[in-house]
Chain A
Amino acid sequence: AQKITQTQPGMFVQEKEAVTLDCTYDTSDPSYGLFWYKQPSSGEMIFLIYQGSYDQQNATEGRYSLNFQKARKSANLVISASQLGDSAMYFCAMRRNAGNNRKLIWGLGTSLAVNP
């Protein structure tokens, strides 16, 4: 069965410092995609970054980077130079490459608080 595990219910980071949010996944599919989304208190999910299982390099999007370790089945999100506006819930999600499957499977999320 496919599963996403986020073991950190809450994290704190000092403004301008870097923080790593953990995500491990479980799948037997050889091809899959991994996503990180941010959910501020307003409720809408905001796409941050994507990593494909066959991508050779770790994905980067501005201050976000993904530390992808395929053998360990981990896809940790690194936020560099944290800003107060980064305070939010962060969700890791996975999509299998199986037929017409379009469903995202989500973790429980990590609440990040950035301290001034």
Chain B
Amino acid sequence: DTGVSQDPRHKITKRGQNVTFRCDPISEHNRLYWYRQTLGQGPEFLTYFQNEAQLEKSRLLSDRFSAERPKGSFSTLEIQRTEQGDSAMYLCASSLAQGSLNEKLFFGSGTQLSVL
């Protein structure tokens, strides 16, 4: 039973470059989430998908950020024209949508982005 996997684990890039991260959720999970976590903080919600539909997007997500989940399986998060403030851990989580409030998320180990 494989968990949520994220690739790459670490990414170092120069300011202004574009980066793309990939998340492979647990295979039977239909919901997929992206969160961002900076040092000393809790995660901040970015967006989520139910199957291939992007149902909610945070106002934190500027137009430089885009996420896709084309076939309702893996997802990509792209950041264009990276800025130093984008440096953070990007966490992906998946879940099997059943209940409402008690939905439990399964997280990957994250992608640590450093923008120089």
Q: Which residues of A contact B (CB under 8 A)?
A: 4, 31-33, 35, 37, 42-47, 50, 52, 91, 93, 95, 97, 100-109
Which B residues are CB-close (under 8 A) to A32? Answer: 101
Q: Is the interface of B mostly helix, strand, loop or mixed?
A: loop
What is the total of A-B residue contacts with beta carbons within 8 Å?
Answer: 66
Q: Which residues of B contact A (CB under 8 A)?
A: 3-4, 31, 33, 40-45, 48, 55-56, 58, 89, 91, 93, 100-110, 112
Interchain CB contact under 8 A, B101 and A33: yes
Interchain CB contact under 8 A, A100 and B93: no
Which A residues are CB-close (under 8 A) to B89? Answer: 43
B24, chain A: closest CB distance, angstroms: 14
A47 to B106, CA, bound (A): 7
Which B residues are CB-close (under 8 A) to A44? Answer: 3-4, 91, 107-110
Interchain CB contact under 8 A, A31 and B101: yes
Q: List, sorted by A's number, 8 A–B pairs whose CB atoms are closer than 8 Å.
A: A43-B91, A44-B109, A45-B91, A52-B102, A95-B103, A102-B103, A105-B45, A106-B42
B15, chain A: closest CB distance, angstroms: 24
Closest residue of chain A to B102 (Cβ to Cβ) is A50
A58 to B14, CA, bound (A): 49
Given A43-B110, A45-B93, A50-B102: A100 and B42 interface contact (C-beta under 8 Å)? no
Interchain CB contact under 8 A, B48 and A102: yes
Given A31-B101, A33-B101: A102 and B42 interface contact (C-beta under 8 Å)? no
Which B residues are CB-close (under 8 A) to A104? Answer: 43, 45, 105
